[in-house]
Amino acid sequence: MAKAWHLISRPTGLPTMADFALRDLPDAPLEADQLRVRNLWLSVDPYMRGRMNDAKSYAASFKIDQPMTGGAIGEVIESRLDGFAPGDLVLHMGGWRDGGVIGLDVRPNKLPAAALAAGMTPQTFLHNMGLTGGTAWIGLLRIAAAKPGDVVFVSAAAGAVGSAVVQIAKVREMTVIGSAGGAEKCKWVSALGADAVIDYKAGPVLPALAAALQKLGKSGVDVYFDNVGGEHLDAAFATASDFARFAICGMIDVYNDGKAQEMKYLIRAIPARIRMEGFIYTDQFIDCMEEFYADMGALIASGAVTMRETVHDGLEAAPDAFLGLFSGDNIGKMLVRL
């Protein structure tokens, strides 16, 4: 009997364990175009917090007392879907559970045998070859149109998306300033190649960012990749060069409390002619999927792009892993191993 986490109440502020329940999934024979899978890895991501609200957004809200969904890697146990056979590893959106029956609604895709044969781990398709790596690549290169020589400021640079942005930017000969919380995270971002790293837990962001720019001999930020919002976004406005481009990926700073964003330096958007664009990975991915896979696959194979994984073990640990995203418990990608 498979089990799945269900959302049983809509959180106010930071979710608690009282908002979740682990329940059995009814067993059922396979119908046409269905797979039975055993999940091996689950992804938890900040965007899932928005799905816990009853509000219109780019991703459908989780339904109360229904199994939750998210990225997962599973092994096919039984198949009635053409092109899939027992033993295949698949990426799909039937996460937050240890397995069961899945269909086309959770978009199963077989992991490429060549990549696995070359030594790429299956869970890489939940980070650098998946949602977070794709978000970094699209946001930096397509949305912000970053180019060699640009000064790139990245918030949450020790997270799954931010760490990929740092490395992609360095490969393309950009100057990178990363922001992370705490000495260990800052040390890792520096090891990834960032030219300067600021510790936002050590003091206000703006003076630290201004000092980093001065030390590097740079007059301002050409590209800001936003994962946080709030103080980081305002500091980017304050230090932006003319015609700066802001790729707005996430604002984890306000996902739980919904507080208003205070932007003291927003007015600089006019004289600096700043272009700011929010984006969703799925809107762009189909058009550049083959280019992304080829580019990122080569970067991973060469060692130019790596990832640290923060792993929780067991399905029971999934809510704790998710909540840890909002207290900075992860370095790199947060995963659940089954």
Residues 266-284 have a mean pLDDT of 94
Q: How far is C-alpha 337 from the chain's CA centre?
A: 17
What phi and psi, each to the nearest 5 degrees, are found at residue 110?
A: -70, 135
Asked if residue 258 has pLDDT above 80, the reply is: no
The confidence score (pLDDT) of residue 16 equals 96
> Is 33 within 8 Å of 103 (Cβ atoms)?
yes
Residues 186-215 have a mean pLDDT of 98
Look up the CATH number of domain 131-282: 3.40.50.720
Q: Mean pLDDT check: name the lowest of 163-172, 214-223, 278-287.
A: 278-287
For residue 130, what are its two tokens? 């998946």
- pLDDT confidence bin for 284, thresholds 50/70/90: confident
Residues 233-237 have a mean pLDDT of 98
Residues 263-279 have a mean pLDDT of 97
- pLDDT confidence bin for 126, thresholds 50/70/90: very high
In order, the DSSP letters of 210-262 are HHHHHHHT--SEEEEEESS-HHHHHHHHHHEEEEEEEEE---GGGTTT-PPP-
Q: Is the dihedral of CA 135, 90, 33, 5 positive or negative?
A: negative
The confidence score (pLDDT) of residue 256 equals 86
Residues 199-211 have a mean pLDDT of 98
Computed over every residue of the chain, the mean pLDDT equals 96
Per-residue model confidence as pLDDT tens digits over 181-199: 999 999 999 999 999 999 9
Instruction: Identify which has the larger pLDDT, 257 or 46.
Output: 46
- pLDDT confidence bin for 282, thresholds 50/70/90: confident
Residues 31-37 have a mean pLDDT of 97
Strand (E) or helix (H) holding 282: helix 281-302
Residues 163-186 have a mean pLDDT of 98
pTM (2 d.p.): 0.94
Superfamily of domain 3-126+308-337: Medium-chain alcohol dehydrogenases, catalytic domain (3.90.180.10)
Identify which of 224, 44, 258 has the alpha carbon closest to the alpha carbon of residue 139: 224
- pLDDT confidence bin for 281, thresholds 50/70/90: confident
The confidence score (pLDDT) of residue 28 equals 86
Give ranges for CATH 3.90.180.10 in the chain: 3-126+308-337
Asked if residue 285 has pLDDT above 80, the reply is: no
Give ranges for CATH 3.40.50.720 in the chain: 131-282
The confidence score (pLDDT) of residue 287 equals 87
Instruction: Identify which has the larger pLDDT, 55 or 142.
Output: 142
- pLDDT confidence bin for 12, thresholds 50/70/90: very high
What b/e sequence results for 163-176 when a residue is b if at least 16 CB atoms lie within 10 Å of its CB, and e otherwise? bbbbbbbbeeebbb
